[in-house]
Amino acid sequence: MKPEQQLWAAVPLVAMAGCVDAIGWLRLDEMFIGIITGNSTLLGVALAGGEWARAGALAGLVGLFALGALAGAMIGLKAKRWRIPAVLTAVAVLFALGAVLPFEGLVPPALFALVPAMGMVNTALPAAGGITFLTGTLVRSMQFLVGGLAGELPPGTWLPHFCSWVGVVCGALLGAVVEMQAGSNALLVPALGLAVGAVLVGRKIARAA
């Protein structure tokens, strides 16, 4: 998949990440599943306030995310041209596992599946520059918009980056609605979406072979 195609392919993945993070935020004590910048900030605040148990939980989330990214990179390296469907399948399985594991306690067992999955999904599309961190994406969209207006970049270069930001908002909206309606089964929605995406990309790769 070409780099520009990966940018557009990242949009539904960003929406999925927003969906999962919204579900996690509603279930957790104001901690994120995939936004490590937010968790790192909260970690500093917890340390400053002497909230050692909360700080430990937040540090654990950061560590689990890093392990997921490491595992995703290894899967992608082994899968070669099948990187995208292989990583998406692994993430879908972890999301489905997270849906059936308990979501209770300071560090719920479900997080041992969900947080690594969020780290892993960032490795599916290397050219996209990441799925779960959108600050840089929004900045790039504005920079590319200015570049396009100045004639230094092709028109529309900014659009996939901006759509990724819109995607995370729409995904968070979907996640909140699904959580309120489906409860414990809410995480099966992004799991199913990723499984379908993995099959579609896999079929495309097979046809191109």
pLDDT digits (tens, 9 = 90+) for 188-199: 999 999 999 999
* Number of domains present in the structure of the chain: 1
What region, left, alpha or beta, does residue 160 occupy, with left being phi > 0 and alpha being psi -120 to 50 degrees?
Answer: alpha
pLDDT digits (tens, 9 = 90+) for 31-85: 888 888 889 999 999 999 999 999 999 999 999 999 999 999 999 999 999 999 9
Which range of residues forms the domain containing residue 164?
A: 3-208
Report the predicted TM-score, pTM, of the whole model to 2 decimal places. 0.89
What region, left, alpha or beta, does residue 107 occupy, with left being phi > 0 and alpha being psi -120 to 50 degrees?
Answer: beta
Q: DSSP H helical segments within 80-134, as ranges?
A: 83-100, 111-121
Q: What is the mean pLDDT of residues 135-162?
A: 88
Whats the size of the chain, residue-wise? 209
